[in-house]
Amino acid sequence: MAKFVTSLNYFLKLITNNLKSSMFLTTIIPIVIIVGVLYVIFAYNGFVRLVNRTKEAWADIDVQLKRRYDLIPNLVNTVKGYATHESQVFEKVTQARTAAMGAGTLEAKGQAEASLAGALKSVFAIAEAYPELKANQNFLALQAELSDTENKIQAARRFYNTNVRDLNTSIEVFPGNLIAGMFRFVKMEFFQLNDEAAREPVEVKF
């Protein structure tokens, strides 16, 4: 009889432990699933925000670059009126502007913008030799606009590259790389100027 009671108690303990394990699993597993789904949603939305912010930053760069492209012909024509013999420099600026406007990739854009910045510096170097040109109101207005545009381009480029860095880092680190791969988020290119001197704004002197 004692053996029977002992066996019965052992059997009841097994049943109790199994019930507790089942309750534990039915409670924990749904919680883990919910937390996982919430993380995926949070990470996905984070990537979307980073991508959109990076695209907006590039759009700002594009606006400022187009503004500079529009100013360059007026600048060249104004300087040309005082230094007609510098046709080679003016032609170089025009070619650099055309190349920058037609660049299709960020790498090509960086190279073209570096060349354009160098060409613009040559134009302002010419202007230094003509006091009457430096006093011309149209030239002074173009200088002011170009200086403002150059500063905005530099600020926009820094902001864009910061966003690209944040996006690329999020894509590379674990577990964000799993979410990025799942939804096909890809790294974006930095906007770098290949010429070290071109990374500085074009110096505009008054």
CA distance 118 to 92: 10
Q: Is the pLDDT of residue 6 over 80?
A: no
Supply the DSSP symbol for 183: H
Confidence (pLDDT) at 8:
44
CA distance 168 to 162: 10
What ranges in 128-198 are assigned the alpha helix state H? 131-134, 137-172, 176-183
Contact 65, 113 (CB under 8 A): yes
**What is the C-alpha radius of gyration for the chain, rounded to an integer number of angstroms?**
32
Higher pLDDT, 199 or 112: 112
Picking from 11, 205, 206, 202, the residue whose alpha carbon sits closest to that of residue 93 is 202
- For the segment 174-198, the average pLDDT, to the nearest whole number, is 84
CA distance 73 to 75: 5
- For the segment 26-31, the average pLDDT, to the nearest whole number, is 70
Higher pLDDT, 72 or 22: 72
pLDDT in tens, 160-184: 999 999 999 999 999 899 999 999 9
Contact 126, 86 (CB under 8 A): yes
Contact 47, 135 (CB under 8 A): no
CA distance 7 to 57: 74
Residue holding tokens 């999020």?
Answer: 170
> Alpha carbon of 44 to those of 26, 110, 138, 178: distances in Å?
28, 31, 51, 11
